[in-house]
Amino acid sequence: MHVLVIGAAGMVGRKLVARIVAEGGIGGRKVDTLSLVDVVAPQMPAGFGGRAWAADLSAPGEAARMLAGRPDIVFHLAAIVSGEAEADFDKGYRINLDGTRLLFEAIRAEGMKQPYAPRVVFTSSIAVFGAPFPDAIGDEFFTTPLTSYGTQKAIGELLLADYSRRGIFDGVGIRLPTICIRPGAPNKAASGFFSSILREPLVGQPAVLPVPDTVMHWHASPRAAVGFLLHAATLDTAPLGARRNLTMPGLAATVAEQIEALRRVAGEKAVALIRREPDETIGRIVAGWPRRFDAKRAESLGFTAETTFDEIIRVHVEDELGGKVA
């Protein structure tokens, strides 16, 4: 199989490629060719045909070039993230909306030359939802995003469903929970603390908690996210019908529950590294976020995530820290 990954240099993209390389394929089907694209050139793994290159999905002709090899599976992970899409209106719409549409149109153009309808896996986000929410957000709850990023993802979902309905491709949109623990350096995202209050203490570094212990949010590990992508790439789409976009399973946990899990995995000395420093701005932003979902549909289709925060922490310790806690 030939697999195209757009956004292959990002955190999830790199882990996805690493997993495909490690397993030699997806869902038991051998992958021999990889096309890897991002705004910076992704690393090309040895032993595969294809290539890795830098490209802006929204630039003329780029989407067509990505599709020229007629990949069997297209992972579309490329996006301007929430904060940047909010700060730069034009850039967010250009990449997240126009880029997505150009990609879908390039697939359609390929199919007009000769029949072609690849599997397309599109990463959406729980940012398609906006408060106020019910206690648990069900699969039929409406999408009223409170950011331009969430708006662009919700539009991508609608396009994905319409192009799939018309048989232009065979699409699955997956709404990722907040990824926790995000590896790497702390970033300025308002959601950053959900990861940093665990990630930094696990390596003996201090971390700041800007919200009360009672804040609840919806999480899944990077490993679970890669699992969602691979499952979406191979599942039977017939049961989806026209409803191609799925809220992924995850784990609803309060900050207090996150900290208790840290205590169990890494002990009291790790917990002691968390400094409480309330930040009203972050508190207000987080208050508008979803807390909990009832992701029945995705679960019934075989998508799985962690069920305890201990597990989420252990995944990080295994995948990022070589199994060792400081």
Active site residues: 149
CB–CB of 80/91 below 8 Å?
A: yes
Tell the burial category of 238 from Cβ atoms under 10 Å away from its Cβ (0-12, 13-18, 19+).
exposed
Q: Which of 146, 208, 216, 321 binds a copy of itself (CB under 8 A)?
A: 146
Can residue 238 be called a binding residue for a copy of itself (CB under 8 A)? no
Q: Are 58 and 95 in contact (CB under 8 A)?
A: yes
Q: Does 239 bind a copy of itself (CB under 8 A)?
A: no
Among 125, 151, 196, 221, indicate the residue that binds a copy of itself (CB under 8 A): 151
Site for a copy of itself in 73-102 (CB under 8 A): 89
Verify binding: residue 165, a copy of itself, rule CB under 8 A.
Answer: yes
Query: Residue 139 or residue 170: which is nearer to a copy of itself going by CB?
Result: 139
Cα-based angle 285, 291, 296 (whole degrees, multiple of 5) = 145
Nearer to a copy of itself, 139 or 319 (CB): 139
Site for a copy of itself contains 284 (CB under 8 A)? no
| Element spanning 4, H or E | strand 2-6
Query: Cβ(292)–Cβ(177) under 8 Å?
Result: no
Q: Which is nearer to a copy of itself, 31 or 161 (CB)?
A: 161
**Nearest approach, Cβ of 139 to a copy of itself (angstroms)?**
8
User: Is residue 243 part of the contact set for a copy of itself (CB under 8 A)?
Assistant: yes
Q: Is 143 in the site for a copy of itself (CB under 8 A)?
A: yes
The residues, ordered by sequence, that sit 6+ positions from 198 with a Cβ below 8 Å of its Cβ are 180, 181, 207, 258, 262, 313, 316
Angle at 302 between CA 296 and CA 308, to 5 degrees: 70
HSE at residue 170, side-chain half, CA atoms within 13 A, is 17
Binding region for a copy of itself (CB under 8 A): 89, 130, 139-146, 148, 151, 154-155, 158-159, 161-162, 165-166, 242-243
